[in-house]
Chains A and B, each alone.
Chain A
């Protein structure tokens, strides 16, 4: 069993969902992010947030995967201040919803004043509704941006245990762990981490508070990054207990602090029944045979 605690499944296909389920992924967390280009209307945010708690959650359930999400205004779009103000008014409508496990992903991109302003406002929102925070650390000037994210979070009085600092690398991990935060690692080709480097980090730092994710989205990325990295850890002699911590348990412990994510959600899930999704305009088109999984049988499509 694996959890991918950072994946933008709205951008992925049903083939991906099937492959993820087969590879052992039982739950995913979809952080609210941007769409690859900036939105220009607050209504686009509203419909996106609604998708995260509506259609995408339903779609995932059709493939036997439990879908959670985080809600927030991402740092890139924080730079359109008039729009960002409107998004801030929208967020209270969503942060209390079922299955919203954190405020995120928030933090810095270019590290502008506007980014700083909305990051701080959302830290306050997280405190108010008692949710964990998922911090997106910048691609550029990463080390400084990561440290600044933690400094500001502490300035606002957040407990590091309630904060997951994501997209770490060899340069940031030590300080993030030393200061008591959860450290997320994104296995994403070219821009972030590769699986081999991840294995080395777990060997060096141990499994405590380390969380592996794919951050798979609309770019060249891999929705199977978590199970693939787990396999590589196995081949490299990392023990099962440690693998479980970094690819399942730590994510559950960190985001479970929301009270919105419980192992029973997938362990006691109703058997997979694609007939619920119906024919026609749903995920299954007319003529496709639904996949129905009984308690003891499994019919492949």
Chain B
């Protein structure tokens, strides 16, 4: 797996990066595997910034598919060249568990923000994943959005491994930081009643403070709509905001609650123009992000 990943990532870099960087990378990979000392690895990992830019990779449809075959949920189209090169270096460090953790712990503890971005985004490509769960949970305590995004967005690791409380904390913090929820993998599958209640409390807090509510929040509520949530959705429908209204209607449409269907019937025109669910949430999410910039 390790070798397949390395050659896949190297191929991606070959499409985007310069020859000087690629030559340097090849040499470092050999050196790291040969020396087997953390210091060679640490130095190369840091100095990769001298050879690779933070430009996004250019990824073909085939490569996207191949990435997903290698690791389910791996989306290198969100990666830049520098983090890809750093991941190649990370994968070339010998994977003997005890020594690997000594080196990786030190690297995590001394990383700068772009190094953190590379490391956390590469969690699903690392060995010993179950032992890395606490590291990922701790990483989410960051206030640096770049680092938060590397764990929370377009990354299969949290949905696969996080216990419910930590998963809910991730989603809540993403809401709090107004990150695009549709980019959290497994968001729909891992909805749960506790998270719906947290989302509702958060919405009420925002309303009490006279602030608006991120429309994507209602997606978390959809499977659990009852009398209580219905009141919130009515309130949301009463706003003049197009995105809010759309989000409330999508939530009602997904709900199996009787009164939800009845309420939906009073908005026939708007319902007719709604997209398919998944696409609709994505477009609400991305439109909302655009209102923020």
Q: Could you tell me which A residues sit within 8 Å of B by CB distance?
A: 46, 49-50, 53-55, 57-58, 90, 92-94, 96-99, 259, 273, 275-282, 286-287, 292
Given A54-B144, A275-B293, A279-B177, verify A93-B209 contact (CB < 8 Å).
no
Cα–Cα distance between A46 and B112 once the two chains are bound (Å):
12
B56 an interface residue at 8 Å Cβ cutoff? no
User: Could you jot down 11 A-B contacts, CB within 8 Å?
Assistant: A50-B109, A53-B112, A92-B39, A92-B42, A93-B42, A93-B106, A94-B110, A97-B115, A277-B145, A280-B177, A282-B145
Beyond the given A54-B111, A275-B292, could you list 12 further A-B residue pairs with CB under 8 A, ordered by the A residue number? A46-B110, A50-B111, A53-B113, A58-B113, A58-B146, A98-B46, A275-B178, A279-B178, A280-B177, A281-B143, A282-B177, A292-B293
Contact, CB under 8 Å: B46 / A97: yes
B102 an interface residue at 8 Å Cβ cutoff? no
The interface residues of chain A lying within 8 Å CB-to-CB of B95 are none
Contact, CB under 8 Å: A282 / B46: no
Cα–Cα distance between A56 and B272 once the two chains are bound (Å):
50
The interface residues of chain B lying within 8 Å CB-to-CB of A292 are 293
B91-119 vs A, Cβ < 8 Å mask (1 yes, 0 no): 00000000000000010011111111000
The interface residues of chain B lying within 8 Å CB-to-CB of A49 are 110
Given A58-B144, A273-B293, A282-B143, verify A97-B177 contact (CB < 8 Å).
no
Given A259-B50, A280-B176, verify A54-B113 contact (CB < 8 Å).
yes
B160-179 vs A, Cβ < 8 Å mask (1 yes, 0 no): 00000000000000001110
Given A98-B49, A278-B178, verify A92-B112 contact (CB < 8 Å).
no
B75-91 vs A, Cβ < 8 Å mask (1 yes, 0 no): 00000000000000000
Q: Closest CB of chain A to B42's CB: distance in Å?
A: 6
The interface residues of chain A lying within 8 Å CB-to-CB of B39 are 92
Which of chain A's residues has its CB closest to B146's CB?
A58
Closest 7 CB pairs of A and B: A53-B112, A96-B46, A98-B49, A278-B177, A97-B46, A93-B110, A282-B143
Tell me the residues in window 253-293 of chain B with beta carbons closer than 8 Å to chain A beta carbons. Answer: 292-293
Q: Closest CB of chain B to A115's CB: distance in Å?
A: 25
B1 an interface residue at 8 Å Cβ cutoff? no
Which of chain B's residues has its CB closest to A278's CB?
B177
Which of chain A's residues has its CB closest to B112's CB?
A53
B43 an interface residue at 8 Å Cβ cutoff? yes
B180-196 vs A, Cβ < 8 Å mask (1 yes, 0 no): 00000000000000000
Cα–Cα distance between A286 and B42 once the two chains are bound (Å):
38
The 8 Å CB contact of A96, one of B43, B113, B145, B211, is B43
B47 an interface residue at 8 Å Cβ cutoff? yes
Cα–Cα distance between A245 and B115 once the two chains are bound (Å):
34
Which of chain B's residues has its CB closest to A57's CB?
B113
Cα–Cα distance between A93 and B50 once the two chains are bound (Å):
16
Cα–Cα distance between A278 and B113 once the two chains are bound (Å):
16
Cα–Cα distance between A66 and B211 once the two chains are bound (Å):
32
The 8 Å CB contact of A98, one of B114, B178, B293, is B114
The interface residues of chain A lying within 8 Å CB-to-CB of B50 are 98, 259
The interface residues of chain B lying within 8 Å CB-to-CB of A96 are 42-43, 46-47
Q: Closest CB of chain A to B144's CB: distance in Å?
A: 5
Q: Closest CB of chain B to A87's CB: distance in Å?
A: 13
Contact, CB under 8 Å: A98 / B209: no
Cα–Cα distance between A57 and B43 once the two chains are bound (Å):
20
Cα–Cα distance between A281 and B115 once the two chains are bound (Å):
22
The interface residues of chain B lying within 8 Å CB-to-CB of A280 are 176-177
Contact, CB under 8 Å: B112 / A54: yes
